[in-house]
Amino acid sequence: MGIFGALNSAVSGLRAQSKALENIAGNIANSQTTAFKRVDTSFADLVGNSAANVRSQTSGSVLASSRATNTVQGAVEASGTATHMAINGDGYFVVQEKTSEVDGNAVFAGQDIYSRRGDFSLDKQGYFVNGSGHFLKGFSIDPSTGNVQGSVPEVIQINNDFLPAEATTEVSYRANLPSSPLTASGSATLDVGLIGSDIAETDETTFLESTISAGAITVYDANGSPTNVQMRWAKVGTGPDTWNLYYLSDSTATGAATKWTLAQDTVPATIDFEFDAAGNLTTPAGASVDIGGVSVDGTTIGDLAFNYGTGGLTQFDDPNGIAQVTYLQQNGSAPGELVDIAVTEAGRVVANYTNGKTVEIAEIPLVYFNADAQLKRVDGGGFQATAESGVAIIGANGAIIGEALEASNTDIADEFSKLIVTQQAYSANTRIITTSDEMLKEALSMVR
């Protein structure tokens, strides 16, 4: 049976090398496919007989099987596209396939697919779709808290709705007021007749010459209408180091009409900013005050929190005699139109708007498996869970890199080397069949 055993072994060798050639061909064909995982070939020997005498055993035939390389990462390369993302390390994106559309809305298959292909872009309906037509899933984010909502990822969809206007409710301010302000009139304090009162247009010249600029900022009402607020500091004579804040409330005022309004709290009562000899703020206590009923050029802003923090408002000597404003921001904004989408290193989808605001839309989870090699491959570089792989577990150790893609883990040079070896092994097996055939012919001719 030796000759026939040799024939069987050679045939199994031809099959095994054919399978290896098929895997090599597929690897080379997908050498430029995003996040492709090559398939290697493993060979296992099969015992030809079960003879009790070990000296009678033969090497037997061979069986080829595929070996996955899902855990072997390809190179991460920059792409320059904001919606592209690569996984550095362990993990898979959760995606789904679209089966149809109903009334213009996508209908999905419902079965999760796992992929490392991150060449996502937005389609006409605002879905993230990669080059294989798979739709990205993630967790929605609560816009008020920034926390993830839910425990089951859903297909991510971005809408083009305007971001609503946000009324200004707080102004953050940091500055140093000079111990001796350099005013146009040369007076260190506001004229006694103007102290503690709003300023009419007829008194504006005197007021401007006795005060220093406190900066200007644009604030927004509930409809998102912008209004520029100009402010001035006046050192007053009610205390040794006391200041009042004024803002331009009516730029078109004439005659006795109020043009500059004294900042008062919501009681209302004048807000006196008092400093000690070391230049530290002593009154008001705390880190902010409320300025009540702010209205500028007919636009009602309402109550504003004037937040100067702890130690953010001081009165140290300044040779220039001006207010050194180091920080001036507010929390309002005009309505915003969606500009673009980006992905952060934390794996969050962020929408950028024309008003400068950014909103976190969703968080992209990465999942892992206890047995990656047992995943079932599907078209488009995706995988499906099997009983052997175990279920997907959220919380992979990998990290998402924005504006980047993972390349195929196929090494062309290595595949060509395996191709040469496979060809030689296949040729050698054909020689065994040829030799076995000649030996059989010899045996048959011996009978004649």
Q: Are 312 and 280 in contact (CB under 8 A)?
A: no
Asked whether the predicted pLDDT for residue 56 surpasses 70, the reply is no
Is position 25 within any domain?
A: yes
Structural domain contains residue 326: yes
pLDDT band at residue 141 using 50, 70 and 90 as cut-offs: very high
Q: Is residue 352 part of a domain?
A: no
Q: If 0-12 CB within 10 Å is exposed, 13-18 middle and 19+ buried, where does residue 328 land?
A: middle
> Does 310 map to a domain?
yes
269-285 mean pLDDT? 93
One domain, residues 312 and 175:
yes
If DSSP codes are grouped into helix, strand and coil, which group holds residue 316? Answer: coil
> Which residues are registered as beta bridge partners of 280?
314
Within this chain, do residues 386 and 430 fall inside the same structural domain, yes or no? no
pLDDT digits (tens, 9 = 90+) for 61-99: 899 999 999 999 999 999 999 999 999 999 999 999 999
Range of weakest confidence among 54-58, 104-108, 418-422: 54-58
**Within this chain, do residues 86 and 148 fall inside the same structural domain, yes or no?**
yes
Residues 22 and 89 in one domain: no
The β-bridge relationship of strands 281-283 and 128-129 is unpaired
Of 83, 92, 81, 106, nearest to 35 by C-alpha is 92
Cα separation, 149 vs 396, whole angstroms: 19
Of 53-67, 243-257, 405-419, 420-434, where does mean pLDDT reach its minimum?
53-67
368 closest CA partner among 40, 89, 86? 89
Q: Is there a single domain that holds both residue 266 and residue 208?
A: yes
Domain for residue 351, yes or no? Answer: no
Q: In the chain, how many domains are there? A: 3
Residues 80 and 180 in one domain: no
What φ, ψ does residue 340 adopt, rounded to 5°?
A: -160, 175
CATH for 234: 2.60.98.20
> What gap in Å lies between CA 263 and CA 301, rounded to an integer?
13
Interatomic CA distance for residues 80 and 371, integer angstroms: 33
Q: Hey, what are 376's tokens?
A: 């079932």
Taking the mean position of all CA atoms in its chain, how far away is CA 84?
10
* Residue 49: pLDDT band with limits 50, 70, 90: low
Same domain for 322 and 176: yes
Distances, alpha carbon 430 to alpha carbons 42, 427, 435, 439, in Å? 21, 5, 9, 14
Q: How far apart are CA 351 and CA 342, in angstroms?
A: 7
Reported as a single tens digit per residue, the pLDDT across 291-301 is 999 999 999 99
Q: Are residues 324 and 276 in the same domain?
A: yes
Least confident of 219-233, 279-293, 430-444: 430-444
Average pLDDT, stretch 311-333?
Answer: 93
Sequential DSSP letters for 337-374 = -EEEEEE-TTSEEEEEETTS-EEEEEE---EE-S-GGG
Is position 263 within any domain? yes
Is residue 447 very low, low, confident or very high in pLDDT (cuts 50, 70, 90)? low
Give the Å distances, CA to CA, from 85 to 69, 238, 325. Answer: 21, 62, 41
CA distances to 18, 39, 72, 343, 370 from 22, rounded to whole Å, are 6, 10, 20, 38, 28
DSSP state of 171: E
Residues of the chain above pLDDT 70, percent: 97
pLDDT at 442: 83
The per-residue pLDDT for 448 is 60
Domain end point (choices 330, 345, 379) = 330
User: 29 and 92 share a domain?
Assistant: no
Instruction: State the residue range of the domain holding 305.
Output: 170-330
Q: Which residue has the higher pLDDT, 249 or 440?
A: 249
CA distance 373 to 70: 6
Average pLDDT, stretch 156-165? 91
Distance of alpha carbon 10 from alpha carbon 109, whole angstroms:
45
Q: Which two tokens stand for residue 259?
A: 């043009």
Candidate from 53-57, 251-255, 294-298, 331-335 with smallest mean pLDDT: 53-57
What kind and span of H or E run contains 12? helix 2-29
- The mean per-residue pLDDT over the stretch 374-387 comes to 95
Integer Cα distance of 382 and 376 in angstroms: 8
50 pLDDT more than 90: no
**In terms of domains, do 281 and 387 share one?**
no
Residues 386 and 431 in one domain: no
- Residues 182-201 pLDDT 10s: 888 888 888 877 888 999 99
Query: Is there a single domain that holds both residue 236 and residue 321?
Result: yes
Binned at pLDDT 50, 70 and 90, residue 436 comes out as: confident
Per the DSSP assignment, residues forming a β-bridge with 30 are none
Q: What is the pLDDT of residue 52?
A: 62
Mean pLDDT over residues 122-131, rounded? 93
Q: Of the given ranges (96-105, 262-271, 346-355, 380-389), which has the lowest mean pLDDT? A: 96-105
Q: Which residues pair with 329 in a beta bridge?
A: 172
- Quick check: is 337 in a domain? no
Spatial CB neighbours of 441, under 8 Å, sequence gap ≥ 6: none
Residue 347 placed within a domain: no
Q: What mean pLDDT, rounded, does the chain reach? A: 91
